[in-house]
Amino acid sequence: MVTEGKDDRQGHRRRLRERFLAGGLEGFHDYEVVELLLTLSTPRKDCKGPAKAALERFGSLRAVFEAEDRELKAVAGIGPSNLLALRLIKEVAARYLGERMVSQPRILNSRELLDFLNLKIGHKRRECFFAVYLNAKNCVVASEVLFEGSLTSSAVYPREVVSSALAHKAAAVIFAHNHPSGEPEPSGEDVRVTKKLVNALRVMGITVHEHLIIGAAGHYSFAENGYIDRFVREAEAAISEP
pTM of model > 0.85: no
In this structure, are 123 and 213 located in the same domain? Answer: yes
In this structure, are 147 and 225 located in the same domain? Answer: yes
What is the structure's pLDDT at 2? 43
> Could you tell me which residue, 152 or 163, shows the higher pLDDT?
163
In this structure, are 126 and 75 located in the same domain? Answer: no
What is the domain range of residue 189? 109-240
CA separation for the pair 206, 73 (Å, rounded):
46
Tell which of 31, 60, 91 closes a domain. Answer: 91
In this structure, are 161 and 206 located in the same domain? Answer: yes
pLDDT digit string, tens, across residues 59-108:
888 888 878 888 998 998 888 888 888 888 878 887 877 777 666 656 65
- Residue 112 burial (CB < 10 Å; 0-12/13-18/19+)? middle
In this structure, are 145 and 174 located in the same domain? Answer: yes
* Least confident among 11-15, 129-133, 183-187, 221-225: 11-15
pLDDT digit string, tens, across residues 37-52:
888 887 677 888 989 9
What is the structure's pLDDT at 206? 96
List of residues 6+ apart from 60 with CB closer than 8 A: 30
What is the structure's pLDDT at 1? 41
What is the structure's pLDDT at 88? 84
Per DSSP, the three-state class of 143 is: strand
Residue 84 falls inside a structural domain: yes
**Number of folded domains that form the chain:** 2
In this structure, are 115 and 52 located in the same domain? Answer: no
Residue 16 falls inside a structural domain: yes
In this structure, are 113 and 173 located in the same domain? Answer: yes
